[in-house]
């Protein structure tokens, strides 16, 4: 089984590579610049705006974790990628989406993720969608010191409960799905405690 992870330098990409390595799987890691080596992945040049890089990266790949950039062209990138994946004979696409992505989603990001999901669903390639809630790691940069010092995250949310998720958990879920055939045609909402 050969796996490609797009967006491999991001938080979820890195977490998934590590989780796959713990299962004895060394994926291809799609990155823009191959100017270093990686102990747990084979680096391959990958750029959503370069069809040749997609073709090369998808060579001999069975399964993909598709992480698209947060970009207004996300749907366009997904169309181009899915066409290349079909040509390459990819058997399963696991798409990193967003919690709440759907038809009634008033947020542009959720709407774009749902359109991308539909493209994958209509492709004839087996699929699984991962819809994580907000990443806890997004707070570590600006709020890292207070969290370390007080062991508490203070946000202006009053008594609102929010289920932020750890990207390491998303990586674990992605690795389980990428290493089995039990999750095709399913959507998983991933939330924290």
What homologous superfamily is domain 3-134+166-190 in, according to CATH? NAD(P)-binding Rossmann-like Domain (3.40.50.720)
Distance CA 1, CA 39 (A): 19
Q: How many percent of the chain have pLDDT more than 90?
A: 69
Q: How many percent of the chain have pLDDT more than 70?
A: 97
Q: DSSP code of 192? A: -
- Rounded alpha-carbon distances, angstroms, from residue 123 to 20, 90, 99, 186: 26, 11, 22, 15
Residue 104 confidence (pLDDT): 66
What residue ranges do the domains of the chain occupy?
3-134+166-190
Q: Which residues contact 183 (CB under 8 A, 6 or more apart)?
A: 128, 176, 177
pLDDT in tens, 45-100: 999 999 999 999 999 999 999 999 989 999 999 999 999 999 999 999 999 999 98
pLDDT in tens, 107-144: 788 889 999 999 999 999 999 999 998 877 777 777 77
pLDDT in tens, 61-75: 999 999 999 899 999
């Amino acid at each position: 089984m050969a796996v490609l992870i797009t967006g491999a330098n991001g938080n979820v990409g890195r977490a998934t590579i590590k989780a796959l390595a713990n299962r004895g799987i060394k994926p291809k890691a799609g990155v823009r610049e191959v100017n270093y080596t990686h102990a747990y992945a084979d680096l391959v040049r990958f750029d959503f705006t370069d069809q040749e890089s997609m073709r090369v990266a998808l060579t001999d790949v069975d399964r993909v974790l598709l992480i698209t950039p947060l970009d207004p062209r996300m749907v366009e990138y997904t169309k181009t990628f899915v066409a290349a994946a079909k040509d390459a004979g990819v058997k399963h696409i696991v798409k990193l989406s967003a919690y709440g992505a759907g038809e009634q989603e008033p947020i542009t990001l959720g709407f774009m993720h749902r359109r991308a999901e539909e493209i994958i669903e209509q492709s004839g390639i087996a699929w699984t969608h991962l819809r994580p809630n907000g990443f806890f790691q997004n707070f570590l940069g600006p709020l890292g010191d207070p969290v370390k010092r007080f062991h508490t995250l203070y946000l202006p949310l009053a008594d609102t409960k929010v289920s932020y998720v750890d990207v390491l958990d998303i990586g674990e879920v992605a690795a389980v799905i990428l290493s089995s055939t039990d999750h095709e045609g399913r959507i998983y909402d991933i939330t924290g405690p």
